[in-house]
Chain A
Amino acid sequence: MGMDIDKSMQVAFAGLNAQGTRLRVVAENLANAESTAQSPGGEPYRRKIVTFQSMLDKQLGVTTVKVAKVMPGVGEFERRFDPANPGADAEGYVLMPNVNPLLELMDMHEAQRSYQANLNTIDAAKSMISRTIDLLRG
């Protein structure tokens, strides 16, 4: 029984890890929202997306979660008129990254919510363990 509660904490930690990675990728996207190419014809920063995958942990015998892949996000680059930019083409347009701050903030919020849910699981498991230890006090 104690093993099961222990397992539930391990699963929650895996969840925390995965959501942490997601948050990191969101931060990368937001930080690079204005990263244009260095030279004409180059590509600006491309938005990244995290995908999750459930994974059977054979040692624990439970289904944990992991980050399957950090994939480049699809989407058109926006063209902005900025002739002074080193990455501008012959007509003076420069390609901007396909990062949409609104989307990123949504993703960040969701990651935060899931992170909190996993923290709650750990809290619950901890209180159950301390209940069990309390049994010793008779």
Chain B
Amino acid sequence: MDLSKIPLFEAITKHMSWIGERQSVLAQNIANADTPGYTAADVKKLSFADLVGGTGQHLQMTTTSPAHVQPVNAAGAFKLEPQQGGERAPNGNSVQLEEQMMKLSDNVNDYALTTSLYRQQLGLLKMVLGKSSGG
């Protein structure tokens, strides 16, 4: 059974990969908190349309040889937004550690919420199939 064929599971999976992407962007910001001239970035928020639209409608480039290069902004990639305005340190760095830490913990909580949702849905499916949900 392919769980990702179920729209809700597809949406949950997409949200999880969005959170993963955001985690790596926040890590980049934090690692570069002392790099002169660095501008903080964040991942563009997923809209409802992004979640229900699905990835099936996008046309993807076909690669017929391992030497072919995939387009940089392939379908399903998330958009990065550089931080607008805000305070900058004298060396031109716009990373504020407090803000980034807040986003980071937000991200972890989001992830916990999403995985719980996933488990709940899986439990419901199991209940329908007649197995005990186990929690």
Contacts and interface: CB of A to CB of B under 8 A. Distances in A.
Interface of A: 1-5, 7-9, 11-12, 14-15, 18-19, 22, 51-54, 62-65, 110, 113-114, 117-118, 120-121, 124-125, 127-128, 131-132, 134-135, 137-138
Contacts of A65: 31-32, 34-35
8 contacts: A1-B13, A1-B20, A4-B20, A19-B34, A120-B101, A120-B104, A135-B115, A138-B134
A92 B17 CA distance: 69
A125 B27 contact: yes
Contacts, number: 113
Given A4-B17, A9-B27, A11-B24, 18 more contacts: A4-B21, A8-B23, A8-B26, A8-B27, A11-B28, A12-B30, A15-B31, A19-B34, A54-B32, A63-B32, A65-B35, A117-B33, A125-B23, A128-B108, A132-B115, A138-B133, A138-B134, A138-B135
Interface string B9-22: 00001001101110
Chain A, interface SS category: helix
B36 interface: yes
Nearest to A22: B34
B81 to A, nearest CB: 15
Interface of B: 13, 16-17, 19-21, 23-24, 26-28, 30-36, 38, 97, 100-101, 104-105, 107-108, 111-112, 115, 118-119, 122-123, 126, 133-135
Contact of B104 (A22, A110, A121): A121
A11 B27 contact: yes
Given A5-B24, A132-B115, A138-B134, A51 B31 contact: no
A138 B122 contact: yes
Contacts of B135: 138
